[in-house]
Structure 1
Amino acid sequence: MSQDSTSIEKSHQQHIEVAPAPEAQHEDDHITQFPNRWSRFRYLIREPAAEFLGVCVLIIFGTGVDCQVVLSTNTGVASGPRGEYISINFGWAIGTAMGVWTTFVAYIVQKVTLALAVYRGFPWKKVPIYMISQLFGGIVGAALVYANYFHAISIFEGGDGVRTLKTAGLFSTYALPYMTNVSCFFSEFLASAVLLVVVFALNDRKNTPPPSGLAPLLLFLLILGIGASLGMETGYAINPARDLGPRLLTSMVGYGKAVYTFRNQYWIWCPILGPFLGALAGGAFYDAFFFTGAESIFNKPNAEARKRHLHAANTQRPHMPSGADAV
């Protein structure tokens, strides 16, 4: 056999020796994002489902602690009170943190969704489905808590068929009697503006953002602080879905139209308009004086800058739910 033939044969043998066996092929070569029809459907509904579940978890913790603290003051429900006002603050703060932690892609706060669309380039086409999902999350979360505390509510009210504003306030917000309409609106406006300022600061890469994974903890502290400092007078709705979802539930289960007629349609201008307008004001304040990212409307190039093809630096869009319709 010639030398060339020997070299070819050795080369062929080496090729055979190093060729991987079929069973040794890397497993990643056969991974697909959609192994079945459900996985493809799940991908399509993942974001709305996250908003739904996040708010649902928030409401379960929040209205749950309201029920436990208030209903336990009746000796027919419990032998003694099971909590105080600070317990309510902790319950809502934990609900916010757990809602965000459970579905970390979610914003869970309707006003935050709106503020991100106005100031951070969040797609407007997603805003309606996000808000609807958040609203349904509030309804379902309240329904689960109502079913859990149904008998305790009946004892507290004095009968199975009795449902009044005494217990409607366990699910949605009602201002204290001495508050004027203007004062009610201002209370929700202020708390919501504070929430958005802090949320935007937490999401600003140039303003010491929290380490990865710690956003829910900071939201816990934020909601705890707002509740402990500004929550007494109106119940700090600070999230339209947090109030409207449970309010709709109460009107479905026997509380009637009183949940809407309270103080001349209070439900519209205080726990809905107050948070929305407060969030827009808080977002405008932060962006006008602190935020330098290109996505904000306050940093859009003027005519002179456009001529020179200049623009503000891009920043990474926030992943954490700015507290996010957190509440």
Structure 2
Amino acid sequence: MSEEIPALRRGPHGLKRIGGTWGEILAEFLGTFILIMFGDGAVAMAVAGLPGSGRTATSVTSFVGVGDWLLIVFGWAFAVMFAVYVAGGISGAHVNPAVTLAFAVRRQFPWNKVGPYIGAQVAGAFAGAAVVYAVYQSAINAYNAAAQTPKSSGHALPTFSIFATFPAPYFHGSWVGPFIDQVVGTALLLLLIVAVIDKRNLAPAGNMGPLVTGLVVGAVGLSFGANAGYAINPARDFGPRFFAWIAGWGEVALPGSIPGAFSWYFWIPIVGPFVGGVIGVIVYDYFIGDVLAARRAEAEPRPAGRAGEGSAEVDS
């Protein structure tokens, strides 16, 4: 059916150009754009959309129960699922620099594509955040006005949370707990992603992989999300964070500081996921991947003559 659809680009030269790395970059951009549209859109719904539309007790009532958190968790799960369905057939749908780096370290992903992939992911995340802001700008402004926290005040944390992450107050401004949280969350993410795509293991049949991957992100959010917003994706955090800074949120966005709460937080959702992603893929390969490789090697028939030579040596 897809072969019957005529290409929008005219002539063989345009199609040839997008058949390789350039096409993969376009897919990563669009996949990450969709990721942020649904993910940040779900947060915008919980933080500003529902309160401002009169569907909660007051115009600033949000996050008063687990239902608000579930809305966000399922929003991000669906976001990842649909992003992978869109871009998976072209680029593998990394839509996450931590995935790209981890695959380059352990999955023979070409190192010369790491930079272009990450650039496309950050750009897609920035663009997605811009569209979410355009859609929810009125709701965001209404919330900030009702809460008396204009963007430029440096205290508009609730509406900033639509775009990027920040640590829970119980960390008391320390970077150690949030950093560990990001390492652990992203390690789990990558461990489970490589388990899902490993055909030697119990990989999902057909095209169920994106659905399972979305559930993985949902599981991380349900288990670890409150600590630091479970960015587990440098592009998902930095692209929208950079947009929020341009849009007027100031230091709460970049460098990620609120006096007395936290300071220079922006690097933690970048470095933590990179470290955690590599750890996760190495852990999977050490505990599971190598075992599967060993079993496959044992199951392969030996070349002719080797079995007899081996049995003779054992007998002697």
Normalising by the smaller structure, the TM-score range is 0.7 to 0.9
Report the alpha carbon displacement of residue 281 of structure 1 after superposing the two structures with TM: 1.0
Segments ≥4 residues shifted beyond 6 Å: none
* Pair 1:168-2:142 in alignment: no
The equivalences for 1:126-145 within 5 A come to 126-145=113-132
Partners of 1:292 and 1:276 in 2: CA distance: 23
1:33-92 CA distance string (max 9 Å, x none): 984443233324210000000000000000001011111453x44332796210100000
The equivalences for 1:1-327 within 5 A come to 35-44=11-20, 45-72=22-49, 74=51, 76-80=52-56, 84-104=68-88, 105=90, 106-158=93-145, 162-163=150-151, 164-179=156-171, 180-261=174-255, 262=257, 263-268=262-267, 270-292=268-290
Partners of 1:59 and 1:78 in 2: CA distance: 25
Task: Give the aligned residue type for 1:165.
Answer: L
Does structure 2 conserve the Cα–Cα contact (< 8 Å) formed by 1:58 and 1:99?
yes
Cα distance change on mapping 1:166 and 1:46 into 2, 3 Å = same
Report the alpha carbon displacement of residue 202 of structure 1 after superposing the two structures with TM: 1.5
Task: Give the aligned residue type for 1:169.
Answer: S
Does structure 1 conserve the Cα–Cα contact (< 8 Å) formed by 2:196 and 2:213?
no
Normalization by structure 1: what TM-score?
0.75
Partners of 2:50 and 2:94 in 1: CA distance: 34
Does structure 2 conserve the Cα–Cα contact (< 8 Å) formed by 1:157 and 1:167?
yes
Helix, strand or coil for the counterpart of 2:241? helix
Task: Give the aligned residue type for 2:169.
Answer: P
Partners of 1:260 and 1:91 in 2: CA distance: 25
Structure 2 unaligned regions, length at least 5: 1-8, 294-316
Partners of 2:275 and 2:41 in 1: CA distance: 28
Helix, strand or coil for the counterpart of 1:272? helix
What root-mean-square deviation, in Å, do the aligned CA atoms of Structure 1 and Structure 2 show? 2.5
Does structure 2 conserve the Cα–Cα contact (< 8 Å) formed by 1:61 and 1:92?
yes
- Judging by fraction of residues, say which structure has more helix: 2
Report the alpha carbon displacement of residue 161 of structure 1 after superposing the two structures with TM: 10
Does structure 2 conserve the Cα–Cα contact (< 8 Å) formed by 1:51 and 1:130?
yes
Instruction: Report the count of equivalent residues.
Output: 262
Which has the bigger relative contact order, CA under 8 A and spacing at least 6?
1
Partners of 1:294 and 1:121 in 2: CA distance: 18
Partners of 1:59 and 1:275 in 2: CA distance: 17
Does structure 1 conserve the Cα–Cα contact (< 8 Å) formed by 2:100 and 2:114?
yes
Does structure 2 conserve the Cα–Cα contact (< 8 Å) formed by 1:111 and 1:275?
yes
Does structure 2 conserve the Cα–Cα contact (< 8 Å) formed by 1:34 and 1:40?
no
Report the alpha carbon displacement of residue 293 of structure 1 after superposing the two structures with TM: 9.4
Partners of 1:293 and 1:99 in 2: CA distance: 31
Larger Rg: 1
1:230-286 CA distance string (max 9 Å, x none): 111111000000000000100111112331232231110x21111111111111111
Partners of 1:288 and 1:39 in 2: CA distance: 41
Helix, strand or coil for the counterpart of 2:207? coil
Partners of 1:124 and 1:134 in 2: CA distance: 16
Structure 1 unaligned regions, length at least 5: 1-32, 296-327
Partners of 1:175 and 1:188 in 2: CA distance: 11
